[in-house]
A = this chain, B = another copy of it.
Amino acid sequence: MAPPSKPRRATVHDVAAAAGISRGTVSRVLNGGYVSAEARAAIEAAIAQVGYVPNTAARNLVMRRSQAVGFLALEPHSLLLDDPNIGAIMLGANEVLSVADHQMVNLVVDSARDTERVARYLSGGFVDGAIIVSARTHDPITRVIAELGLPATFVGHPPDLHRSIPFVGIDNVGSARAITTRLAATGRRHLAMIAAALDRDSGADRLTGFREALGDRFDPRLVAEVPLYDYASGVKGMRELLAREPRIDGVFAASDAVAAGALEVLRDAGRTAPADVGVVGFDDSTWALRTQPPLSTVHQPAREIGRNAAELVLRQLRGEEPAPGNVLLPTPIVWRDSA
């Protein structure tokens, strides 16, 4: 028996016939040449009708698709060097985009100059969509994405302005409440928090969870506010807390890197964890296994967050109906030896 014949692949002739336009004009369009908007629309319709698959570059020109998706972390650049989570989110996003044959392009935003230029780049058709970590309401990039209607996903709760853009996140309030409750259950009496990044929803939410867990026992004097989720902020915060209240016997650090800094200060002060002070972190990043002792912490599924963010962008690019909603991922507590 003869093998089933391969379906004949549609050609430029088929497109031209279906569109009622000369083959020369169709070729010109496929090569990026100028043509009237009407003719372009007819050709695009004909391409869909006959199932013509042009080569990628030509298709990109016609469809105005770049097959690229931008990845932006609107965090201080120093975190790129200090926060393993952003890298893990990025690799997760890349896994999904790669399988869908989309190129992920990471755009560094490290200055006002970068912000302007990246906003222009996003408007310039170089990417079909974007994933934005730590979007902020008044950031020009967030505004540009909303104004363009660029298919996008936020990682972390979005600013209120842009409710139409879906987000992937975790329940920071609930997670912080859970680990604080667990820390309190070890019998600690003087619980403190090193609260970082209070200008972000994640930072503000973690403080809310800590406060809710303690209820009447909450003592605002035992909260040290620090700017970033990094090691240096942990050192600074822990020093402040020890100066204010030497009897502290439990610390919730807003990230694992912050907890690592806090542990060093405690060690220098001759206090051991968990015997003298129980310390818990947040993230379950590579930091958590490097500290002495290893950290009890909240597991943040960074790679899964990245994967989901990419899926949400791809679903928008495919024009799925209904438009995709938000995704909240679970955050189990991982109890190790630091508390």
Contacts and interface: CB of A to CB of B under 8 A. Distances in A.
A252 interface: no
Given A33-B34, A34-B28, A110 B84 contact: no
A113 B99 CA distance: 8
Contacts of A108: 90-91, 94, 104, 106
A330 to B, nearest CB: 22
A312 to B, nearest CB: 19
A196 interface: no
Interface in A87-143: 87-88, 90-91, 94-95, 98-99, 101, 103-108, 110-111, 113-114, 117-118, 120-121, 124, 126
A219 B66 CA distance: 55
Contact of A56 (B120, B260, B267): B120
A286 interface: yes
Interface in A261-304: 264, 267, 286, 290, 292
Contacts of A87: 80-81
Nearest to A267: B292
Nearest to A29: B34
A82 B126 contact: no
A309 to B, nearest CB: 14
A189 to B, nearest CB: 29
A120 B56 CA distance: 10
Contacts of A154: none
A77 interface: yes
Contact of A88 (B81, B111, B260): B81
A334 interface: no
A301 to B, nearest CB: 15
B91 A117 contact: no
A260 B290 contact: yes
Interface in A7-38: 28, 31-34
Contacts of A167: none
Given A32-B32, A94-B114, A105-B106, 18 more contacts: A28-B34, A32-B34, A33-B34, A34-B34, A56-B120, A66-B126, A80-B87, A81-B84, A82-B84, A90-B108, A98-B114, A103-B126, A104-B108, A105-B107, A126-B126, A264-B290, A264-B292, A267-B292
The 4 lowest CB-CB distance pairs between A and B, nearest first, are A33-B34, A106-B106, A105-B105, A81-B87
